[in-house]
Structure 1
């Protein structure tokens, strides 16, 4: 999911508009793949943290904090079992597009859900 759906720029608090989408994902996790582990991955572009450097010294911390926000919403508000989910923060180190353009950076700022078959 692109970060623009989930978060305001540079933030880790979920946007209200994103919660309906996350509820739909939770429904799928509860029914279609109810026994699988889910890794929630945070990714960023390559721009260094500027405004909240005291809170997020690097993109690793920002990407992990965003993934944690999604995890907590799924567990606390949607009833996903905490034994089925975990987070990973990759910062800018797994881009899917070129960080030299605005469009590329937008694609790299994302949260991904990885389904782990076999429970781990």
Structure 2
């Protein structure tokens, strides 16, 4: 279980380091960077889960430690997935549709057809 603990701690340090790096970068108008910055808090939460799983791997009975590590890893992956989903959803809501700026007619097809045509 010591190998599992070291792997969990290394993954926790990697997630935490990348999350802190993203949070310390200046805000950007680039949508991809905005999504990455939005995922940074969930990366920090996943790092905490992985660190606790690594600690449990060394301090618990091996059967219990295995269950705790599996739960922590699944929780970390689920947290990152949910954070990515939420950040992408917010970005999709904020971005205008591709046809919104064509001819300055508005968002409806009927408006464009009747007023710009």
Q: Output the TM-score relative to the length of structure 1.
A: 0.28
Q: Larger relative contact order (C-alpha < 8 A, sep ≥ 6)? A: 1
Larger proportion of helix: 2
Larger proportion of strand: 1
Instruction: Flag the structure with larger Rg.
Output: 2
Q: Output the TM-score relative to the length of structure 2.
A: 0.28
